[in-house]
């Protein structure tokens, strides 16, 4: 399993900081129990950070009728809402919460043309807060699928996330399942779909980014 490029700098800084903590204990001959305890805690902390930036290979079965999960996590919202930024009307929202132990690579839910891509600065409310969709740091991406229907998906920073990365631009061709971004630490993604879209998941269900089918176009 490879490590995502967004993690290289953080892993280097983590390594330097942990070395700076552990080295003086050995140099100044601290008690062996203290040296070993700090070393074990340092290794555990490094492994936690390392696993957060893992980038496993995903096998996306391309299907123009499917809307696939843009991220790993748990489905926490399925409801009809008002989408004020792009559609300015009613849409069906499906939200996926990503905990710090989930893979945080984000993927295109459909193939098509990127019609809209905008980054918003914002707060860092917990990702499940009702206002996180409109007040937190976030991006809004709209892809027009091959059938002409548009899907909006929104990367939302959580209480721990301080940076959202996205790699798509307006006018660009998007491939279903291809990487489109990354969110550092806990966060969520909202999908906004046409109201009559059949949903294939349920509240509390765990999904896999790039593989799980969230919904189907009619």
Positions marked active-site: 187
Query: Is 69 within 8 Å of 207 (Cβ atoms)?
Result: yes
| CA separation for the pair 135, 141 (Å, rounded) | 16
State the pairing for strand pair 112-120/105-107.
Answer: unpaired
Please report, to the nearest 10 degrees, the dihedral formed by the alpha carbons of residues 125, 127, 128, 132 taken in order: 60
| CA separation for the pair 202, 76 (Å, rounded) | 9
| CA separation for the pair 133, 150 (Å, rounded) | 19
Please report, to the nearest 10 degrees, the dihedral formed by the alpha carbons of residues 94, 156, 117, 177 taken in order: -60
Ordered strands of the 89-98 beta sheet: 173-174, 112-120, 138-145, 150-157, 187-193, 89-98, 73-83, 206-207
């Amino acid at each position: 399993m490879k490590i995502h490029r967004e993690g290289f700098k953080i892993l280097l800084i983590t390594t330097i900081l942990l070395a700076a903590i552990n080295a003086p204990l050995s140099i100044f001959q601290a008690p062996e129990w203290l040296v070993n305890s700090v070393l074990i805690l340092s290794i555990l902390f490094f492994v936690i950070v390392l696993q957060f930036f893992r980038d496993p290979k995903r096998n996306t079965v391309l299907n123009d009728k499917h809307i696939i999960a843009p991220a790993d996590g748990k489905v926490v919202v399925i409801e009809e809402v008002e989408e004020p930024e792009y559609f300015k009307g009613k849409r069906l929202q499906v939200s996926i919460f990503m905990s710090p132990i989930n893979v945080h690579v984000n993927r295109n839910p459909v193939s098509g043309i990127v019609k809209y891509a905008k980054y918003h600065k914002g707060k860092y409310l917990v990702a499940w807060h009702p206002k996180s969709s409109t007040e937190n740091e976030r991006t809004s991406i709209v892809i027009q699928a091959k059938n002409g229907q548009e899907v909006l998906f929104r990367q939302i920073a959580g209480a721990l996330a301080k940076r959202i990365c996205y790699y798509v631009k307006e006018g660009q061709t998007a491939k279903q399942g291809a990487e489109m971004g990354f969110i550092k630490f806990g966060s969520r993604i909202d999908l906004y779909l046409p109201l009559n879209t059949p949903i294939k998941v349920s509240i509390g269900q765990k999904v896999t980014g790039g593989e799980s089918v969230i919904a189907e176009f009619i």
